[in-house]
Chain A
Amino acid sequence: MEKSQRRQRAPIVEAIRVDKISGGTRLVQAIRIVLAVVYAALSLIPVLWIGMTAFKSRPDATAVPPKVFFKPTLEGFVSLLTDRAILLEARRQELLQHLDELPWYQRLMVQQGMEVTGPSQYVGRLKNSMIIAGVSTVAAVVLGLLAAYAFSRFPVPGKGDLLFFILSTRMLPPVVVTIPIFLMYRRLGLHDTHIGLILLYTVFNLSFSVWLMKGFLDEIPREYEEAALVDGYTRLQAFFKVVLPNSLSGLAATTVFCLIFAWNEYAFALMLTTDKARTAPPSITTMLGRGGIEWASIAAGSLGFLIPVVLVTFALRKYLLRGVTFGAIRQ
């Protein structure tokens, strides 16, 4: 029955297409491509601009009109990742004389009239981000997969209501609950802890991951497991040997979506952490304040922040494409 419904869907699309196809397609095609390229370029400009600004020196970063061609420098990165002290004139002269013996980042700063005193907090914040986003993503995906499998395969009592309830946790803007959660976390001693944010992000992602994974698992024919059951495997063995390898694309898609959420989350991170467990997003903005706006280091921070997500997405792109086109395993 399910199959026949799916089959019925196609013809309506066909019927619509009858009215849509028209002649002179070459020119239309060309215009479409040009528009797509222009749009892609427009979308990429902000990213490109962040990338460029990250390698600009202070005067270049704030130059009016903006400089498109400039001499790249790592100043932005150095000031992002280090704490510095302003040099007194005497100390500066002394360092300048031994310039050749200093490490490269110190040289860069000395020329600016500053001295690197140690690594900045940003390094720790990035590390926090990685731990919190990583652990919560894994937790959300694993728990989501198991829940989704149960919803997809077993007659769970009140299945519809439960699924709706799970979805309903996403129905109000999270900011609304920041204050109650803040108070609750204070009471429970979860304030400014890794575990606190991990729990929060996991719960937030879970509803999403259950729904998404259920969609993917529904697409995997039951016959796969049933064949394994008849062939002499237990439900759990069938799950690991048959279901899991076939749901990789779904897992990849879910992982990336969960990771992006946990990685980018700002509001809770700002409210629920102060120092120990603070993640990168809120700390980038705090750089706005210190000693004037350091555009180069903000850009460097944003860039460094983007890269891990880009890498993960890139690594999983093969599965993602299959996942996004849903049902590809069905051929």
Chain B
Amino acid sequence: MATIELRQVEKKFGELHAVKPMDLTVYDGEFVVLLGPSGCGKTTTLRMIAGLETVTGGQILLNGRDVTWEHPSRRDIAFVFQLFALYPHMSVWQNIAFPLQAQGVSRHEVRQRVAEVARLLEIEHLFRQRPRGLSMGDQQRVALARALVRRPAAFLMDEPLGALDADMRERMRGEIKRLHIDQHATTVYVTHDQVEAMAMGDRVVVMSEAVVQQVGTPAEVYYDPANLFVARFIGSPGMNLVPCRYLGGAVEVPGAGRVALSPVWDAALQRALGPACDVILGFRPEAARVAPEGPLFATVYASDMEGGYAMLHLSLGGEGGPVVHVRASRENRYPIGTPLRIDLDPEMVRFFDPRTERAIRREVGR
């Protein structure tokens, strides 16, 4: 098994940075997800680790060994591609056996190892079929089997579920995670889907515009996003972000009302911004509730049912104000234009500096 270390790794295409210098250590047996919108550099990073892309600067270490300029085949890494990349002219069995045959493993052992991974992924009954005839989910299982059969030091996966439909994606997500828990192989997984990243990752690396925005556990990136980008990107919908003004002891949302601050936040804002300053208030949809005596005024912009619960979309301060999303029980649905008041859970509010877009940190645990 393996530890992967990136030291100041960067990639430039001409003058353009695809990945700005980044440091990252993926520990032995860890499942790390690179998450970001398309073009953020996550796939390039993964391809550099695999050796499919040369690095412009920095070092890549595998178990402490410098592999920066090593040929991909010598890195002992398996790569699972986004769109399966199964060889259409070979049967499932041949596809899985292919990497072993390339390594010159004995025929007896090939048979044994193929059978083993096939049992693990429950695809033994597909051996004789051609990939084309398989369902998308089965194709992805075969692709995983082909990666697993080599017993590589680490797995790199580039949106392996990207081409599947929603239901299949949900199932395979669980299967891959389960597989990882059983095998404990070091895995770097790339996706643009924050749900996938949260559900699967031991840690999540959020990237945007070639820069690592935050590295943290799912709970950290969800509850304490490092900046506005992460706050917006994580969660569905993302964190509500409302520009307002800090007035010492409270923040005022223009046209909607004042929210009193806990002493901890008051001190933090005072320290970070000084008295009377613009600040961005952030809260998750589940951190707000409709309450007749709540401090903020809003009107209903739209409301909908999302299965087991409802989501209210509210214009803060009335029509034309910033739209925030509030999770509610299904009984709480209102026609468009209904005036309401909302209250925020004081433990769940966050603040951001509008100039730097960074989160303002409070002192915790005193």
Contacts and interface: CB of A to CB of B under 8 A. Distances in A.
A and B touch in the complex (CB under 8 A): yes
Interface of A: 4, 7-8, 10-12, 14-15, 17-19, 21-23, 25
B51 A11 contact: no
B222 interface: no
Contacts of A14: 52, 81, 85
A4 B73 CA distance: 30
B87 interface: yes
Contacts of B54: 21, 25
B223 to A, nearest CB: 37
A21 B85 contact: no
A11 B139 CA distance: 13
Contact of A18 (B69, B79, B82): B79
Contacts of A8: 83-84
A11 B69 contact: no
B72 interface: yes
B120 interface: no
Contacts of B71: 21-23
Interface in B196-244: none
A17 to B, nearest CB: 7
Contacts of B73: 18-19
Interface in B55-93: 69, 71-73, 79, 81-85, 87-88
A15 B81 contact: yes
B134 interface: no
A157 B72 CA distance: 52
Contact of A11 (B50, B72, B85): B85
Contacts of B51: 21
Interface in B320-358: none
A242 to B, nearest CB: 29
Contacts of A25: 54
Residue picked from A8, A17, A25, most chain B C-beta under 10 Å? A8
Interface of A is mostly: helix
Interface of B: 50-52, 54, 69, 71-73, 79, 81-85, 87-88, 163
23 contacts: A4-B163, A7-B83, A7-B163, A8-B83, A10-B83, A11-B84, A11-B85, A12-B85, A12-B87, A12-B88, A14-B85, A15-B81, A15-B85, A15-B87, A18-B50, A18-B79, A19-B72, A21-B52, A21-B54, A21-B71, A21-B72, A23-B71, A25-B54
A19 B79 CA distance: 12
B112 to A, nearest CB: 25
Nearest to A12: B85
A293 to B, nearest CB: 53
Residue picked from A10, A17, A18, A23, most chain B C-beta under 10 Å? A18
A18 B71 CA distance: 9
A17 B52 contact: yes
A4 B88 CA distance: 15
Given A19-B73, A21-B72, A11 B81 contact: yes
A261 B334 CA distance: 71
A328 to B, nearest CB: 19
B90 to A, nearest CB: 12
Contacts of A17: 52
A25 B54 CA distance: 10
Contacts of A21: 51-52, 54, 71-72
Residue picked from A14, A19, A25, most chain B C-beta under 10 Å? A14
Nearest to B131: A8
A49 B200 CA distance: 67
B52 A11 contact: no
B27 to A, nearest CB: 26
A276 to B, nearest CB: 58
B226 to A, nearest CB: 33
A23 B69 contact: yes
